[in-house]
Amino acid sequence: MNLEKLIPADVPPEKKGEFLAHLQETTNGTGRLMLFAGDQKVEHLNNDFYGPGIPLEDNNPEHLFKIASKAKVGVFATQFGLISRYAPDYKKIPYLIKLNSKTNIIPYSAKDPYSQQWIEVEEAIEFARYSGINLQGFGYTVYLGSEHEHSMLTEAANIVHTAHKHGYLAVLWMYPKGNFVKDEHDPHLIAGAAGVALCLGADFAKVKVPYKDGKFIPELLIEATVAAGNCGVLCEGGKKIDERTFLQELYDQIHIGGTRGNGTGRNIHQRPLEEAIKMANAIYAITCEDKSVDEAIKILEA
């Protein structure tokens, strides 16, 4: 893929080299992004880190940083504060700073969600400069269909543009949620969300996996990946499932559905460290090294 064609016009001429370098590093030159998602400590509180079937070490937030520092990842996406607490020991991790988050305490049926921006892009860039972390870009969640979507759309547009002005990538989590959203896995709705991410200028859109009758069919993604244009579509990883099933779905998302990567959290970090590293490497192999499912499985079995 010619990565230069993916440089948006709002990246200033003097920043195009930096933007291209970020895109090259995070995608291994493929234009596909392997996003290791570590933002669930806010989104799901401690539900994803402690409980039956989850190794005790996952309850320690440093587990995320150990994985991200030793495995192959495109970016490690998590909140600014979490990064600042562990940055002194993990500066080389390719970070994507998540600029907003909300908990799941208030159900969506009770109140439409609004996830407000926590800090400004410029503040995070300044932090990256004096702390020496390897900052690659910024992330933000938009809840389409919420009565507050206008505020989130405005914040998202400004985040994307400001990130680009400074030569950084911008990834938007595009999740339809609220009282008027009947099926957040509806393929047509997901395609619409991907198209909105493109209109906001995002480089990548992280979306829900489309289902028909409760089943994933990779062809259902084609509407979304076409609607997203040259904005890359990433599917969320979801709950932890069997390794081969997960890797096969990932392969099909890319090679049948036309996605340009994935955003995976629980299917990586809900494992002991060495297993988590192997799983991340297997996901990276399919996403950014064009490996087959069988080749990825061999990484797990090594």
Q: Which of 87, 77, 171, 169 is nearest to 128 (CA)?
A: 87
Q: What single string gives the DSSP state of each residue in 40-53? A: HHHHSTTTTTSSTT
- Tell me, what's the pLDDT at 294? 98
Give the residue carrying structure tokens 């192959």: 72
Q: Tens digit of pLDDT for each residue in 7-17? A: 999 999 999 99
Q: Tens digit of pLDDT for each residue in 34-84? A: 999 999 999 999 999 999 999 999 999 999 999 999 999 999 999 999 999
Q: Is 175 among the residues known to form the active site?
A: yes
Q: Check which CATH number belongs to the domain holding 74 and give it.
A: 3.20.20.70
Longest Cα pair distance anywhere in the chain, in angstroms?
52
Separation between Cα atoms, residue 111 and residue 167, nearest integer Å: 37
Structural contact between residues 48 and 27, judged by C-beta atoms closer than 8 angstroms: no
Strand boundaries in 53-158, DSSP class E = 75-79, 94-98, 134-142
Cα–chain center distance at 148: 22
Q: Is 215 among the residues known to form the active site?
A: no
Separation between Cα atoms, residue 115 and residue 160, nearest integer Å: 16
Structure tokens belonging to residue 156: 């998202």
Average model confidence (pLDDT) across the chain = 97
- Tell me, what's the pLDDT at 204? 98
Q: Tens digit of pLDDT for each residue in 182-240? A: 999 999 999 999 999 999 999 999 999 999 998 999 999 999 999 999 999 999 988 89
Q: Which of 227, 243, 231, 230 is nearest to 280 (CA)?
A: 243
Helix (H) or strand (E) holding 213: none
For 135, the domain range is 3-301
Indicate the pTM of the whole model.
0.97
Domain count of the fold of the chain: 1
Q: Which of 175, 208, 284, 291 is catalytic?
A: 175
> 3-state class of 173 per DSSP?
strand
> Does residue 5 have a pLDDT over 90?
yes
Q: Which of 206, 208, 240, 278 is catalytic?
A: 206
What is the signed CA dihedral for 105, 108, 110, 116, rounded to 10 degrees?
Answer: 70
Separation between Cα atoms, residue 291 and residue 193, nearest integer Å: 29
> Does residue 242 have a pLDDT over 90?
yes
